[in-house]
Structure 1
Amino acid sequence: MKNLQNLLKIILPICLLLIGCSKEKLLDDQSSDDQLLKQKSVSSKAVVASNLKPIGSGVMMQAFYWDVPAGGNWWNTLEGKVQDWSNAGIDAIWLPPASKAQNGAFSMGYDPFDYFDFGQYNQMGSVETRFGSENELKTLITSAHNAQLSVIADIVINHNSGGQSEINPVNGQSNWTKFTPLSGKFTRDYNDFHPNHNHGSDSGIFGGFPDLCHHQVRVQNELWKNTESVAKYYKNVMGFDGWRFDYVKGFEPWVVKDWKNEVGGFSVGEYWDGNAGTLDWWTGQAEVSAFDFACYYKMRDAFNGNNLNELNGDMLWKRNPMRAVTFVTNHDTDEIYNGKTLAYAYIMTHEGYPTIFYRDYEEWLNKERLNNLIWIHNNLAGGSTNVLYVDDNEYIAKRNGNNNLGLVVYINNADTWQERWIETNWSNTVIKDYTGHSGWEPTTQSGRWVKIQVPPKSYSVWAPK
């Protein structure tokens, strides 16, 4: 018995050592497999990212409007459209604010509560957002990527809503600044909002909502700097590719610049101002694009005011076309009610990155005509712009071409056919109207002059046949 005990003393440690080594090897093998899976996942994601159309090579789709149908089905609705949009020449879709807001299933997302709840937590009166569940959003993003479309997130980081009341010791007042979201991420209190101990001023307030203080280092960390910040979660977990910043007048341009430098991705700010110089200043400070409100207001005055001379006015795309995102309408504005299709003909043939509005494309305007303009933008509208003629009713401009032949666009706001002689960039060349509106194929003279025409309340776009 004693000998057996001695033998066990010798054998048992050896067995334990062998078992330990086997377990360690198993863990090492598992670690290697996990690492391999991670590498495959990263590689797979990189392949998807590299497969996307370059943002700005086509047209952006604003894939929502104010008060889209409630009921949690919007992500599914969009998922069924992304391939057709890609086929038409869209390169990116801009989604509404996707995380849970104070009004839960009824909110359009612009009153954010929990930045990490995309429809998976039961709070603010619902599990899903107005648009659907987290899984449905991920399915939409995956389908968009498979269709080579980038996905732009609408980011609201000026104001929050849905917090509980607490006393702010700075001003002794009760404010709705106590946020304890069920995600457990980016909890907030009065220190994170204006006024706080360090910064009592702010660039702009919005409707009396609690106003995030971007000077607070903790707010910067939680929004974009930390490994699990809002920005990095949107990008790395949810799969968003770029950003539309809401109400950027509410914070300084360096906030957008820092965010973009930290996480990358296409970025455009909503700086609501019709002054092209102001927009140019902001894009220079933030080092990102801006919606060209100057262009929007000039088009409104041109088409609703029946004076196309307004199109000669100052616009962001004329100052810095690489920073201008042009649009005819969006979820906040719909003032161009006369000549809206003519306005699309303008932005699709001129410099800047044009946006098309969901309801214009899917409901209100002629989709075939819009698809034709998207094709013209993607295939013909390159190079610098020269205005050839303009008066109250007529506007003619020439794109000089880069890797394409360029084009001439003729917009007519009159009630009768119009025609004019113009000087093109093409000598002894047969040209045609790529809209099909005129049905005429003239030949330019040796001096590059040619007569073109346009139907009433319409447009024509000319290029070599």
Structure 2
Amino acid sequence: MENGVLMQYFEWYLSPEPHLWTLLKKDALHLKEIGITAVWMPPAFKGIGGIHDVGYGVYDIYDLGEFDQKGTIRTKYGTKEEYRDAICALHEVGIQAYGDIVLNHKMGADANEFVKAYEVNQNNKNEVTSGEETIEVPTVFTFPKRQQVYSDFTWNWTCFDGIDYDILSKRHATFLFKDKHWDTQVDGENGNFDYLMGADIDFSNPHVVAELEDWAQWYLEVTGLDGFRLDAVKHIGAHFYKDLIRQLRQHYQKELFTVGEYWHGDVRRLCNYLNEVEGEVSLFDVPLHYHFYEASYANGNYDMAKIFDGTLVQIANDKAVTFVDNHDTQPSQGLQSWVADWFKPLAYALILLRKDGYPCIFYGDYYGIPYSQISGKSELLDCLLFLRKNYALGLQRDYFDDSSIIGWVRDGPQKSGLVCLMSDSVGGCKTMYVGLQYAGTYWYDALGNYKAHIQIDGQGNGVFIVNGGSVSVYIQANE
């Protein structure tokens, strides 16, 4: 899988109809044909929002669209059987399936209980700002409609560290339960960034950890997934996923590729997490996404030669999953940082046509986002994927020697080299060496942005041209 490509197969505003699992099953062969090797599927378990829950408002992780809970049997994406059918369809064409795992919190409890707790400072969760008080909290999860099928584990306040609402006083605040502590090995923002939302799961509780380990084995056996995308890992003690993923790999003797979402623009935070989990997971390259975002709104004043500086793909390329946008960065979302449309071809060339990183394509970029009147770029991405599969191979020579125009050459096997050249400002040219074996040959822009052919001289050099605010990818013309 030298040139594997992951696709995130959902965006935030997808309609519940038609069922996404059914669409994915029908789309499997097409995905294979365009060069997708793995699919990141959205969270498959029942959420508090019923058929409208994107999957992150977690209620019951054992309900994959099988039980009548939260007003629906199916999830937003379909039924349990449709989910398994979609995974089977991917496997039949040789595509791996990754499941989105959301274990940081639970929501939509079946009953409330009274708990002693302390209010903490929102800006420093380690600072207690109240005396001990009794609050009423939704922390009892019995899943009565499931009737203990698959698991008889009952969740109560002892399974959680804290919560953000007191029903008794109708007060929104962050509460830490008495005799509890926020998890360690989490992000240091706000003093301690264990708490994110809902009832915050206590990963120091051995009964909770055992239940989640049992669930993970059940989930793999029921679905046949090939790996995971881990949600909100900076809010969960690193030791938990380090141990869990290691145990699952040993038990099943499978690679179980796993990528975590550690949302931070400082690559040092990501590297620290990779050290804490001892390399058991990869991470999304959030700093690189922010570089794309910044460059796309810099009016041609971004230093393109430094586009990879301070990114995960530069520092730990074997652990970097590169991406342009996702469901959190799309318009109207909490982390909105949507890369400008004109820069999307440049950004996708930067993740798809280079040797480092594991690129992830976003459903909203490929198929569009009707909610935000955003059109899909399937034609562009199909072309880049074709080039990645057939030409973006072999040694790589970089020409990151200009603040505006940058490029690189890939050697490729059997005279199938590739030259990529891009500019965030005015157009121009760059002399680039492709190899003596190409002397006298003609090359053309496979993206069609520059129309004329380029001839390689006797020393194996070509003067390649790019238009302003554009990208060109040159390959050898048929002789």
Query: Does the TM-score normalized on the shorter chain lie above 0.5?
Result: yes
Partner of 1:166: 113
Query: Take 2:401 and 2:291, find their aligned partners in 1: how far apart are those partners?
Result: 14
Partner of 1:194: 161
8 Å CA contact 2:160–2:199 kept in 1: the answer is yes
Partner of 2:16: 70
- TM-score (normalised: structure 2): 0.78
Query: Take 2:394 and 2:141, find their aligned partners in 1: how far apart are those partners?
Result: 50
- Residue 421 of structure 1 aligns to a residue whose secondary structure is strand
8 Å CA contact 1:58–1:374 kept in 2: the answer is no
Query: Take 2:195 and 2:429, find their aligned partners in 1: how far apart are those partners?
Result: 50
CA drift at 1:435: 1.8
Query: Take 2:72 and 2:382, find their aligned partners in 1: how far apart are those partners?
Result: 38
Query: Take 1:434 and 1:260, find their aligned partners in 2: how far apart are those partners?
Result: 44
Bigger mean CA offset, 271-280 vs 90-99: 271-280
CA drift at 1:424: 3.6
- Residue 446 of structure 2 aligns to a residue whose secondary structure is coil
User: Over aligned residue pairs, what C-alpha RMSD do you find?
Assistant: 2.5
Structure 1 residues 74 and 312 mapped into 2: Cα distance closer, same or farther (>3 Å)?
closer
Query: Take 1:354 and 1:272, find their aligned partners in 2: how far apart are those partners?
Result: 17
Are 1:209 and 2:202 matched, yes or no?
Answer: no
Which residues of structure 2 form unaligned runs of 5+?
A: 119-133, 163-176, 187-192, 250-255, 331-337, 369-374
| Residue 459 (structure 1) aligned to one of 458, 471, 479 | 471
CA drift at 1:310: 4.3
Q: 1:412-427 counterparts in 2 under 5 A? A: 412-414=423-425, 416=427, 418-427=428-437
After superposition, the C-alpha distances for 1:328-386 in whole angstroms (9 at most, x for unaligned) are 10001032114112211111112211111112112324322211111222233345654
Query: Take 1:70 and 1:78, find their aligned partners in 2: how far apart are those partners?
Result: 13
Are 1:282 and 2:248 matched, yes or no?
Answer: no
Structure 1 residues 383 and 296 mapped into 2: Cα distance closer, same or farther (>3 Å)?
farther
| Residue 361 (structure 2) aligned to one of 352, 356, 360 | 356
Structure 1 residues 385 and 293 mapped into 2: Cα distance closer, same or farther (>3 Å)?
farther
Q: 1:244-259 counterparts in 2 under 5 A? A: 244-259=229-244
Identity across aligned pairs (percent)?
28
After superposition, the C-alpha distances for 1:223-282 in whole angstroms (9 at most, x for unaligned) are 12xxxx221122111222111111111112222221211223110010011122222222
Are 1:302 and 2:295 matched, yes or no?
Answer: yes
CA drift at 1:293: 0.7
8 Å CA contact 2:383–2:447 kept in 1: the answer is no
Bigger mean CA offset, 407-416 vs 295-304: 407-416
Structure 1 residues 406 and 157 mapped into 2: Cα distance closer, same or farther (>3 Å)?
farther
8 Å CA contact 1:302–1:309 kept in 2: the answer is no
Partner of 2:462: 450
CA drift at 1:139: 1.2
- Residue 281 of structure 1 aligns to a residue whose secondary structure is helix
What is the letter of the counterpart of residue 466 of structure 2? V
Are 1:85 and 2:31 matched, yes or no?
Answer: yes
Q: 1:109-128 counterparts in 2 under 5 A? A: 109-128=55-74
What is the letter of the counterpart of residue 435 of structure 1? A
- TM-score (normalised: structure 1): 0.80
Structure 1 residues 198 and 398 mapped into 2: Cα distance closer, same or farther (>3 Å)?
farther
- Residue 58 of structure 1 aligns to a residue whose secondary structure is coil
What is the letter of the counterpart of residue 448 of structure 1? G
Structure 1 residues 131 and 312 mapped into 2: Cα distance closer, same or farther (>3 Å)?
closer
- Residue 282 of structure 1 aligns to a residue whose secondary structure is helix
Query: Take 1:233 and 1:404, find their aligned partners in 2: how far apart are those partners?
Result: 48
Structure 1 residues 278 and 426 mapped into 2: Cα distance closer, same or farther (>3 Å)?
farther
| Residue 239 (structure 1) aligned to one of 208, 224, 232 | 224
CA drift at 1:422: 2.1
| Residue 221 (structure 1) aligned to one of 210, 219, 229 | 210
Which of the two has greater helix per residue? 1
Name which one, 1 or 2, has greater alpha-carbon Rg: 1
8 Å CA contact 2:285–2:311 kept in 1: the answer is yes
Are 1:373 and 2:384 matched, yes or no?
Answer: yes
Report the count of equivalent residues.
406
What is the letter of the counterpart of residue 336 of structure 1? V
Query: Take 1:284 and 1:463, find their aligned partners in 2: how far apart are those partners?
Result: 40
Query: Take 2:56 and 2:414, find their aligned partners in 1: how far apart are those partners?
Result: 41
- Residue 106 of structure 2 aligns to a residue whose secondary structure is coil
CA drift at 1:71: 4.3
Query: Take 1:459 and 1:197, find their aligned partners in 2: how far apart are those partners?
Result: 58
What is the letter of the counterpart of residue 124 of structure 1? K
Partner of 1:327: 323
Query: Take 1:309 and 1:241, find their aligned partners in 2: how far apart are those partners?
Result: 37
8 Å CA contact 1:72–1:130 kept in 2: the answer is no
Query: Take 1:405 and 1:323, find their aligned partners in 2: how far apart are those partners?
Result: 28
8 Å CA contact 1:59–1:89 kept in 2: the answer is yes
Structure 1 residues 398 and 252 mapped into 2: Cα distance closer, same or farther (>3 Å)?
farther
8 Å CA contact 2:435–2:459 kept in 1: the answer is no
Partner of 2:169: none
CA drift at 1:94: 0.8
Bigger mean CA offset, 360-369 vs 200-209: 200-209
| Residue 104 (structure 1) aligned to one of 29, 34, 50 | 50
Query: Take 2:402 and 2:454, find their aligned partners in 1: how far apart are those partners?
Result: 24
CA drift at 1:325: 0.5
CA drift at 1:179: 0.6
After superposition, the C-alpha distances for 1:417-445 in whole angstroms (9 at most, x for unaligned) are x2221234555433624624235554444
Bigger mean CA offset, 352-361 vs 204-213: 204-213
Bigger mean CA offset, 270-279 vs 165-174: 165-174
CA drift at 1:72: 6.3
Partner of 2:259: 268
- Residue 162 of structure 1 aligns to a residue whose secondary structure is coil
What is the letter of the counterpart of residue 397 of structure 1? W
Query: Take 1:59 and 1:444, find their aligned partners in 2: how far apart are those partners?
Result: 31
Which of the two has greater strand per residue? 2
What is the letter of the counterpart of residue 350 of structure 2? Y
8 Å CA contact 1:193–1:210 kept in 2: the answer is yes
